[in-house]
Protein backbone atom coordinates (compact mmCIF):
# COMPACT_ATOMS: atom_id res chain seq x y z
CA UNK A 1 0.00 0.00 0.00
CA UNK A 2 1.31 3.44 -0.89
CA UNK A 3 2.57 5.64 1.95
CA UNK A 4 1.18 8.70 0.12
CA UNK A 5 -2.27 9.63 1.41
CA UNK A 6 -4.47 12.60 2.21
CA UNK A 7 -4.83 13.79 5.78
CA UNK A 8 -6.86 16.74 7.07
CA UNK A 9 -6.74 18.08 10.62
CA UNK A 10 -9.08 20.79 11.87
CA UNK A 11 -8.51 20.65 15.62
CA UNK A 12 -8.87 23.42 18.18
CA UNK A 13 -5.68 23.51 20.33
CA UNK A 14 -7.87 23.87 23.42
CA UNK A 15 -8.59 20.12 23.21
CA UNK A 16 -6.42 18.09 25.57
CA UNK A 17 -4.45 15.32 23.91
CA UNK A 18 -1.38 13.19 24.69
CA UNK A 19 0.36 10.65 22.49
CA UNK A 20 3.42 8.43 22.20
CA UNK A 21 4.94 6.95 19.04
CA UNK A 22 7.08 3.97 18.22
CA UNK A 23 9.52 5.66 15.85
CA UNK A 24 12.24 8.22 16.42
CA UNK A 25 10.46 11.05 14.59
CA UNK A 26 7.66 10.94 17.19
CA UNK A 27 8.08 12.75 20.49
CA UNK A 28 7.84 11.22 22.93
CA UNK A 29 9.02 7.92 21.50
CA UNK A 30 8.81 4.41 22.93
CA UNK A 31 10.54 2.05 20.43
CA UNK A 32 9.02 -1.06 22.09
CA UNK A 33 5.69 -0.13 20.47
CA UNK A 34 7.03 -1.25 17.10
CA UNK A 35 7.26 -4.84 18.28
CA UNK A 36 3.49 -4.85 18.67
CA UNK A 37 2.73 -3.20 15.33
CA UNK A 38 1.77 0.10 16.99
CA UNK A 39 2.86 3.23 15.12
CA UNK A 40 1.28 5.80 17.42
CA UNK A 41 -1.27 5.89 20.23
CA UNK A 42 -2.82 8.50 22.44
CA UNK A 43 -5.73 9.81 24.48
CA UNK A 44 -8.00 12.73 23.60
CA UNK A 45 -10.42 14.79 25.69
CA UNK A 46 -12.42 16.73 23.11
CA UNK A 47 -14.30 19.80 24.29
CA UNK A 48 -13.82 22.12 21.30
CA UNK A 49 -13.96 21.85 17.52
CA UNK A 50 -12.40 18.62 16.25
CA UNK A 51 -12.36 16.99 12.83
CA UNK A 52 -9.75 14.56 11.53
CA UNK A 53 -10.06 12.79 8.18
CA UNK A 54 -7.75 10.47 6.24
CA UNK A 55 -8.08 9.04 2.77
CA UNK A 56 -5.94 6.04 1.81
CA UNK A 57 -3.80 5.93 4.97
CA UNK A 58 -1.44 2.90 5.08
CA UNK A 59 -2.41 2.01 8.64
CA UNK A 60 -5.50 1.02 10.62
CA UNK A 61 -6.99 3.38 13.22
CA UNK A 62 -8.73 1.96 16.28
CA UNK A 63 -10.70 4.38 18.49
CA UNK A 64 -12.12 3.29 21.88
CA UNK A 65 -14.65 5.66 23.44
CA UNK A 66 -14.43 6.14 27.21
CA UNK A 67 -17.13 8.79 27.71
CA UNK A 68 -19.39 11.11 25.74
CA UNK A 69 -19.99 10.49 22.05
CA UNK A 70 -19.04 11.77 18.62
CA UNK A 71 -19.10 10.92 14.95
CA UNK A 72 -17.12 8.40 12.92
CA UNK A 73 -16.74 9.54 9.32
CA UNK A 74 -17.18 6.59 6.97
CA UNK A 75 -17.02 7.91 3.42
CA UNK A 76 -20.21 9.91 2.97
CA UNK A 77 -21.79 8.42 6.12
CA UNK A 78 -21.52 9.34 9.80
CA UNK A 79 -21.71 6.67 12.50
CA UNK A 80 -22.32 7.43 16.17
CA UNK A 81 -19.47 6.35 18.51
CA UNK A 82 -20.31 6.42 22.21
CA UNK A 83 -19.02 5.18 25.56
CA UNK A 84 -18.33 1.45 25.62
CA UNK A 85 -17.83 1.21 21.87
CA UNK A 86 -14.88 1.08 19.50
CA UNK A 87 -14.51 2.20 15.91
CA UNK A 88 -12.31 0.49 13.35
CA UNK A 89 -11.11 2.74 10.53
CA UNK A 90 -9.33 0.27 8.24
CA UNK A 91 -6.23 1.05 6.20
CA UNK A 92 -6.96 2.51 2.80
CA UNK A 93 -10.39 3.81 3.74
CA UNK A 94 -11.75 7.32 3.62
CA UNK A 95 -12.59 7.80 7.26
CA UNK A 96 -12.17 10.02 10.29
CA UNK A 97 -13.61 11.48 13.48
CA UNK A 98 -15.70 14.58 14.18
CA UNK A 99 -16.97 16.17 17.37
CA UNK A 100 -20.69 16.51 17.87
CA UNK A 101 -21.08 20.12 19.13
CA UNK A 102 -24.16 19.13 21.13
CA UNK A 103 -21.97 16.88 23.36
CA UNK A 104 -19.94 18.79 25.97
CA UNK A 105 -17.06 16.33 26.21
CA UNK A 106 -15.90 13.33 24.21
CA UNK A 107 -13.07 11.22 25.61
CA UNK A 108 -11.37 8.35 23.82
CA UNK A 109 -8.10 6.51 23.27
CA UNK A 110 -6.81 5.89 19.77
CA UNK A 111 -4.24 3.66 18.07
CA UNK A 112 -2.51 3.71 14.67
CA UNK A 113 -1.72 0.07 13.91
CA UNK A 114 0.28 -1.66 11.21
CA UNK A 115 -1.90 -3.52 8.66
CA UNK A 116 -0.16 -6.88 9.09
CA UNK A 117 -0.71 -10.27 10.69
CA UNK A 118 -0.38 -8.85 14.19
CA UNK A 119 -3.79 -7.16 13.89
CA UNK A 120 -5.83 -9.27 11.41
CA UNK A 121 -9.09 -8.30 13.15
CA UNK A 122 -8.81 -4.78 11.74
CA UNK A 123 -8.68 -5.90 8.12
CA UNK A 124 -12.20 -4.84 7.21
CA UNK A 125 -13.69 -3.51 3.95
CA UNK A 126 -15.10 -0.35 5.54
CA UNK A 127 -15.25 1.57 8.84
CA UNK A 128 -17.52 0.18 11.55
CA UNK A 129 -18.53 0.52 15.21
CA UNK A 130 -18.81 -2.36 17.69
CA UNK A 131 -18.96 -2.91 21.49
CA UNK A 132 -15.82 -2.46 23.59
CA UNK A 133 -16.39 -3.33 27.27
CA UNK A 134 -12.77 -2.42 28.13
CA UNK A 135 -12.88 1.09 26.66
CA UNK A 136 -12.36 2.82 30.05
CA UNK A 137 -9.49 0.51 31.00
CA UNK A 138 -7.88 1.10 27.59
CA UNK A 139 -8.12 4.87 28.08
CA UNK A 140 -6.39 4.63 31.46
CA UNK A 141 -3.68 2.28 30.14
CA UNK A 142 -2.98 4.52 27.13
CA UNK A 143 -2.88 7.61 29.35
CA UNK A 144 -0.46 5.87 31.72
CA UNK A 145 1.82 4.79 28.86
CA UNK A 146 1.80 8.26 27.30
CA UNK A 147 2.70 9.73 30.70
CA UNK A 148 5.53 7.25 31.27
CA UNK A 149 6.98 8.01 27.84
CA UNK A 150 7.37 11.65 28.84
CA UNK A 151 9.70 10.77 31.67
CA UNK A 152 13.49 10.70 31.13
CA UNK A 153 14.80 7.39 29.81
CA UNK A 154 16.26 6.44 33.20
CA UNK A 155 12.94 7.10 34.95
CA UNK A 156 10.52 4.85 33.07
CA UNK A 157 10.25 1.83 35.39
CA UNK A 158 6.58 1.29 34.65
CA UNK A 159 6.62 1.62 30.85
CA UNK A 160 7.05 -2.11 30.20
CA UNK A 161 4.21 -3.01 32.57
CA UNK A 162 1.99 -0.31 31.09
CA UNK A 163 2.70 -1.55 27.56
CA UNK A 164 1.95 -5.16 28.53
CA UNK A 165 -1.34 -4.08 30.11
CA UNK A 166 -2.32 -1.99 27.10
CA UNK A 167 -1.55 -4.64 24.47
CA UNK A 168 -3.31 -7.30 26.51
CA UNK A 169 -6.44 -5.14 26.69
CA UNK A 170 -6.26 -4.44 22.96
CA UNK A 171 -6.05 -8.12 22.13
CA UNK A 172 -8.94 -8.90 24.46
CA UNK A 173 -11.23 -6.25 23.00
CA UNK A 174 -10.52 -7.52 19.49
CA UNK A 175 -10.68 -11.25 20.12
CA UNK A 176 -13.53 -13.14 18.41
CA UNK A 177 -16.69 -14.15 20.19
CA UNK A 178 -16.42 -17.91 20.79
CA UNK A 179 -20.08 -18.07 21.87
CA UNK A 180 -21.43 -16.42 18.73
CA UNK A 181 -24.45 -18.38 17.45
CA UNK A 182 -22.96 -18.55 13.95
CA UNK A 183 -19.61 -20.03 15.04
CA UNK A 184 -20.58 -23.66 14.53
CA UNK A 185 -22.10 -22.98 11.12
CA UNK A 186 -19.00 -21.09 9.98
CA UNK A 187 -16.73 -23.90 11.18
CA UNK A 188 -18.80 -26.37 9.17
CA UNK A 189 -18.61 -24.21 6.05
CA UNK A 190 -14.84 -23.75 6.22
CA UNK A 191 -14.20 -27.38 7.22
CA UNK A 192 -14.75 -28.34 3.59
CA UNK A 193 -11.43 -26.70 2.79
CA UNK A 194 -9.65 -29.31 4.91
CA UNK A 195 -10.87 -32.08 2.60
CA UNK A 196 -10.05 -30.29 -0.65
CA UNK A 197 -7.36 -27.63 0.01
CA UNK A 198 -6.20 -27.53 -3.62
CA UNK A 199 -9.56 -26.23 -4.86
CA UNK A 200 -9.81 -22.57 -5.85
CA UNK A 201 -11.87 -21.46 -2.86
CA UNK A 202 -13.40 -18.04 -3.54
CA UNK A 203 -14.72 -15.75 -0.84
CA UNK A 204 -17.53 -14.43 -3.03
CA UNK A 205 -18.76 -17.99 -3.65
CA UNK A 206 -18.70 -18.80 0.07
CA UNK A 207 -20.56 -15.56 0.80
CA UNK A 208 -23.19 -16.40 -1.81
CA UNK A 209 -23.60 -19.85 -0.30
CA UNK A 210 -24.11 -18.19 3.08
CA UNK A 211 -26.66 -15.87 1.50
CA UNK A 212 -24.97 -12.49 2.02
CA UNK A 213 -22.70 -10.10 0.14
CA UNK A 214 -18.92 -10.48 0.25
CA UNK A 215 -18.57 -7.43 2.51
CA UNK A 216 -21.20 -8.74 4.96
CA UNK A 217 -19.52 -12.14 5.00
CA UNK A 218 -16.18 -10.48 5.67
CA UNK A 219 -17.58 -8.57 8.66
CA UNK A 220 -19.20 -11.73 10.02
CA UNK A 221 -15.94 -13.70 9.84
CA UNK A 222 -13.97 -10.91 11.54
CA UNK A 223 -16.55 -10.71 14.32
CA UNK A 224 -16.82 -14.47 14.89
CA UNK A 225 -13.41 -15.86 13.86
CA UNK A 226 -11.24 -12.82 14.49
CA UNK A 227 -9.96 -12.56 10.93
CA UNK A 228 -11.10 -12.35 7.31
CA UNK A 229 -12.51 -15.29 5.32
CA UNK A 230 -9.42 -15.19 3.09
CA UNK A 231 -7.21 -15.59 6.17
CA UNK A 232 -9.32 -18.57 7.28
CA UNK A 233 -8.82 -20.25 3.89
CA UNK A 234 -5.07 -19.68 4.05
CA UNK A 235 -4.84 -20.87 7.67
CA UNK A 236 -6.62 -24.14 6.87
CA UNK A 237 -4.40 -24.74 3.83
CA UNK A 238 -1.29 -24.11 5.92
CA UNK A 239 -2.42 -26.49 8.67
CA UNK A 240 -3.14 -29.17 6.06
CA UNK A 241 0.28 -28.59 4.47
CA UNK A 242 2.01 -28.99 7.82
CA UNK A 243 0.15 -32.24 8.47
CA UNK A 244 1.14 -33.58 5.04
CA UNK A 245 4.79 -32.70 5.61
CA UNK A 246 4.80 -34.36 9.04
CA UNK A 247 3.19 -37.45 7.51
CA UNK A 248 5.98 -37.52 4.88
CA UNK A 249 3.41 -37.26 2.09
CA UNK A 250 5.79 -35.49 -0.27
CA UNK A 251 8.51 -32.90 -0.65
CA UNK A 252 7.84 -29.15 -0.41
CA UNK A 253 6.83 -28.82 -4.06
CA UNK A 254 4.48 -31.77 -3.95
CA UNK A 255 2.81 -30.60 -0.75
CA UNK A 256 2.49 -27.07 -2.16
CA UNK A 257 0.55 -28.47 -5.12
CA UNK A 258 -1.64 -30.57 -2.82
CA UNK A 259 -2.84 -27.44 -0.98
CA UNK A 260 -3.37 -25.29 -4.07
CA UNK A 261 -0.07 -23.48 -4.65
CA UNK A 262 1.44 -23.59 -8.13
CA UNK A 263 4.62 -21.72 -7.07
CA UNK A 264 6.87 -23.24 -4.41
CA UNK A 265 8.31 -19.84 -3.48
CA UNK A 266 4.88 -18.37 -2.80
CA UNK A 267 3.90 -21.39 -0.69
CA UNK A 268 7.16 -21.29 1.27
CA UNK A 269 6.80 -17.59 2.06
CA UNK A 270 3.23 -18.05 3.25
CA UNK A 271 4.08 -21.16 5.31
CA UNK A 272 7.06 -19.43 6.96
CA UNK A 273 4.99 -16.34 7.77
CA UNK A 274 2.25 -18.51 9.26
CA UNK A 275 4.34 -20.89 11.39
CA UNK A 276 7.63 -19.02 11.80
CA UNK A 277 9.50 -21.93 10.20
CA UNK A 278 10.15 -22.80 6.56
CA UNK A 279 8.57 -25.99 5.18
CA UNK A 280 12.00 -27.14 4.04
CA UNK A 281 13.18 -27.11 7.65
CA UNK A 282 10.50 -29.65 8.55
CA UNK A 283 11.52 -31.88 5.64
CA UNK A 284 15.19 -31.70 6.61
CA UNK A 285 14.40 -32.53 10.22
CA UNK A 286 12.31 -35.55 9.25
CA UNK A 287 15.14 -36.82 7.06
CA UNK A 288 17.24 -37.22 10.19
CA UNK A 289 14.55 -39.22 11.99
CA UNK A 290 13.99 -42.97 11.52
CA UNK A 291 10.74 -43.90 9.81
CA UNK A 292 8.31 -45.32 12.35
CA UNK A 293 6.59 -48.43 10.99
CA UNK A 294 3.06 -49.26 12.19
> pTM of the predicted model, to two decimals?
0.65
Residue from 38, 56, 50, 135 nearest 101 by CA: 50
What is the C-alpha separation between 11 and 268, in angstroms, rounded?
A: 47
Model pLDDT, residue 24: 82
**Does the pLDDT at position 154 exceed 80?**
no
pLDDT (0 to 100) of residue 192: 94
- What is the average per-residue pLDDT within 98-112? 97
Distance CA 279, CA 272 (A): 7
Which residues does 119 contact at the CB level (< 8 Å), separation at least 6? 37, 60, 113, 174
DSSP 3-state helix, strand, coil percentages of the chain (rounded to 5)? 40, 25, 35
**Terminal-residue alpha carbon distance, the chain:** 51
Torsion of Cα atoms, 111 then 114 then 117 then 123, to 10° = 70
Residues pairing with 53 in the sheet: 8, 96
Q: What is the pLDDT of residue 101?
A: 96
Q: With a cut of 60, say whether residue 78 has pLDDT above it.
A: yes
The domains found in the chain, sorted by start residue, are 6-174 (2.60.120.280), 183-287 (1.10.10.60)
Q: Is the pLDDT of residue 214 over 80?
A: yes
Closest of 98, 18, 27, 23 to residue 59, by C-alpha: 23
Indicate the pLDDT class of residue 115, thresholds 50, 70 and 90: confident
pLDDT, tens digit, 9 for 90 and up, residues 220-258: 888 788 778 988 899 899 999 989 998 888 999 999 999
Amino acid sequence: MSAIYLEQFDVDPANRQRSVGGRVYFHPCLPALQGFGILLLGVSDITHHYRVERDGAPFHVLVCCDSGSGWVLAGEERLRLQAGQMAILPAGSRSGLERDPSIASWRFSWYLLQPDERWPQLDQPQPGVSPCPDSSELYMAAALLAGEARRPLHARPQSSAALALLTGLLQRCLEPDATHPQRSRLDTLFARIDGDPARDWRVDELAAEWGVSSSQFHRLCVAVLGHSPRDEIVARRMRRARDLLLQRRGNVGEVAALVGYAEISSFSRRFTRHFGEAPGAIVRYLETQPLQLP
